Amino acid sequence: MILNRRHFLASSTSLLALPQLQVAASETGKAPQRVVFLGFGFGFTEDFYATTFGSDYELTPSMESLQKHKQDFTVISNLWHKNARGAHGGTVVYLTGADAHGPTARNTVSCDQVAARYMGNETRFASIQVTTREKGGGHGGGSSLSWHENGTSMSGVAEPFRMYNMLFGGQGTPYEQRLAELQNEKSVLDAYVGNMSSLNRNASKLDRERLDHYFQSLREVEQRIAREKLWARKPKPRVDYKLPAAELDGVQEITAMYDLILLAMQTDLSRVITYRQPIVSLLQALDIKYSAHAISHYQKGEDLKKAMIVRERKQTELFASFIDRLKATKDVDGSRLFDNCLVSYGSNLRAGHMLKNVPALVTGNASGKLRHGRHVKMPQETPLCNLWLTLLQTLNSSVKQFGDSNGVLRDLFA
């Protein structure tokens, strides 16, 4: 661990670049590519999954709302994380594929962060983690779907109004004032960092491992402050969207987050986004009295199954409207935002406690390489990390391997 403050910054700024000074990317030519990973807990009912394959496959009733987009997305079957040992682990390893079960295990970097290494340097935010704070939502530990290399969780923004403020707030602050504010934040950080050295002298190896999470957070803050300083002169984009209310029901919350994700992409505030979706608030908005865990064990009763189906239909409907808006939004070079992004939608588990053959759906057509409109059947027990690798490689060919991937899903390409 590097404790000298001067060295601290030097090691982390190498990835930072100056912000683009052009206002419209159309001056440089094409729109940038983006990637969005959407994840939810508890999977679906078995009824959700299509049983026919190829280009002529049929959508199930639960997938009805996606019918209009059928030619523009791909469903993939037989993917799984062999290291995911238990359904109760939640979405902790969904984007990492690591074996992170129990006291000794460690998580590792999530695929969106690998993408951010290549795609996160020209935007105000290297990546954005949207999340939910609810308990019992099937996500397990951590603050978002995104994880660092050293196994610490990345924090996310959990409320739409907070996300709005993060993206578009503080418009009126003069540059000098902003710099002064950042300098004050830096002084606070310096106090924390300087304080760490005395701690480590009396700590055992085990203690240091625990305190490393704290130290990693300080690093993140330092990077954020440095990045904000570089961006302080550039004004934040103005959008025609109202600040969301603090109290939103589950449906409004998910809709608002989808809206904000869209705006963040359209205004090029970030090109890498993850969204750890809620279910508890969604169930409440749908007037379902059962807990999320109870309906995930829908085999126990008809009522539970009905409730689970209501939820999966609504959730899919919300996803379908997200695709609607992606297609309707104009990108900087006149094309559709849809054409310049890749969106993944899925869960860490299939149904109940079944971790094999998880739901995996991909839409968007960044790079133009994917051939949508099919239900692709991979060989049994194909690593889900193969899908992550495929998406990463589509966006940046230098990525050769991710998690426990053993190849690329060639079947997705034209």
Partner 1 sequence: MIMSMRNTALITLFVLQFVVQVEAVENPRAPDNAAQEVGAIQSAAEVDRRVRSFIGNYCVTCHNADEQNGEVRLDHLAVRISNAAIAQQWRDVLDILNTGDMPPKTASKRPSQDELASVIGTLTENLVTAQKMLRGKGGETAARRLNRVEYINSVRALTGILIPERYVPADENGTEFNTLGWYQTFSPGVLEAYQGAAESAVETMLMEGRKPVQDSRLTRIDTPESRLLGRDESGKDSVRSAVKHYISDPRHKTGLLIYQAEYKWTHYKLRIPNHDFRGEYIVRARVAADESMQEELKFLRVHQEKAAPLYFSLHDAVDAPKVIEFKALADAEGTVELSNLRRSQLRPAITRAMKRGKPVPKIWIDWIEVEGPVYVGRHVQLREQLLQGVNERQIASSDARRILNRFAAIAFRGSPVQPQFIDDLVVIFEQELDTGKSPLESLVKPMAVVLTAPQFLYLTENKSHRSEEATPAPLASHEMASRLSFMLWKEPPSDVLLAAGDRLLHDRTFLESTLDAMIADPRFQHFIDEFFGQWLELRRFDEVQVDSKAKTSPLFDTKTRQAVRRQPLEFVKLIIKEDLSLTKLIDAEFSVFDRNMTGYYEDLQPYRSKASWNEFKQVQLSPQNQRRGGLLGMPAIQMIGSSGVETSPIERGAWIARTLLNSPPPPPPPNVPQLTVDPKLTVRQSLERHKQIAQCYSCHKKIDDMGLALETFDALGRWRSRYKDGTPIETAGHMPDGVRFANADDMKQRLLDHKDSMIRSLVEALIVYSLSREAEFTDQKLVDHLVRHSKDNGYRLKPLLLEFVSSKTFTHK
Continuous segment of H or E residues that includes residue 80: strand 73-80
Give the span between the Cα atoms of 67 and 50, in whole angstroms. 13
| Nearer to partner 1 (CB atom), residue 7 or residue 133 | 133
Q: Which stretch binds partner 1 (CB under 8 A): 24-32, 250-258, 283-291, 386-394?
A: 283-291
The correct pick among 50, 182, 199, 310 for binding partner 1 (CB under 8 A) is: 199
The correct pick among 23, 203, 243, 245 for binding partner 1 (CB under 8 A) is: 203
Residue 165 CB, nearest distance to partner 1 (Å)? Answer: 13
Residue 235 CB, nearest distance to partner 1 (Å)? Answer: 23
**What is the Cα 409 distance to its own chain's centre?**
21
Characterize 355-394 residue by residue with b for buried, 16 or more Cβ atoms within 10 angstroms of its Cβ, and e for exposed: bebbbbbbbbbbeeebebbbbbbbeeebbbbbbbbbbbbb
| Nearer to partner 1 (CB atom), residue 173 or residue 396 | 173
Give the span between the Cα atoms of 113 and 132, in whole angstroms. 19
Residue 250 CB, nearest distance to partner 1 (Å)? Answer: 16
| Nearer to partner 1 (CB atom), residue 249 or residue 381 | 381
The correct pick among 207, 234, 328, 413 for binding partner 1 (CB under 8 A) is: 207
Q: At what angle do helices 205-231 and 175-201 cross, to 10 degrees?
A: 170
Q: Is 192 in the site for partner 1 (CB under 8 A)?
A: yes
| Nearer to partner 1 (CB atom), residue 153 or residue 365 | 153
The correct pick among 11, 18, 21, 135 for binding partner 1 (CB under 8 A) is: 135
Would you state the structure tokens that stand for residue 334, as one six-digit string?
């006149």
Q: Which stretch binds partner 1 (CB under 8 A): 60-68, 211-219, 239-247, 397-405?
A: 211-219
The correct pick among 15, 214, 328, 406 for binding partner 1 (CB under 8 A) is: 214
| Nearer to partner 1 (CB atom), residue 190 or residue 404 | 190
Give the span between the Cα atoms of 129 and 152, in whole angstroms. 14
Q: Which stretch binds partner 1 (CB under 8 A): 8-16, 60-68, 131-139, 392-400?
A: 131-139
At 39, give phi and psi (nearest 5°): -135, 140
Characterize 231-241 residue by residue with b for buried, 16 or more Cβ atoms within 10 angstroms of its Cβ, and e for exposed: bbeeebbeeee
Strands 341-347 and 375-383: unpaired
The string of DSSP codes covering 354-402 is B-SS--EEEE--GGG-B--S-EEEEEEEEEHHHHHHHHHHHH-TT----
By the 8 A CB rule, do 19 and 234 touch?
Answer: yes
Residue 47 CB, nearest distance to partner 1 (Å)? Answer: 13
The correct pick among 28, 52, 55, 184 for binding partner 1 (CB under 8 A) is: 184
Site string for partner 1, 343-372 (x = CB under 8 A): ---------xxxxx----------------
Distances (CA, A) of 99 to 81, 82, 89, 106, 384: 9, 8, 10, 7, 14
| Nearer to partner 1 (CB atom), residue 79 or residue 323 | 79
| Nearer to partner 1 (CB atom), residue 348 or residue 390 | 348
CA dihedral 136, 137, 138, 140 (to 10 degrees): -70
287-316 residues in contact with partner 1 (CB under 8 A) are 289-291, 293-294, 297, 299-302
The site for partner 1 (CB under 8 A) is made up of: 84-88, 102-104, 133, 135-136, 140-143, 152-156, 180, 183-184, 187-188, 190-192, 194-199, 201-207, 209-211, 213-214, 216-218, 220-221, 224, 289-291, 293-294, 297, 299-302, 352-356
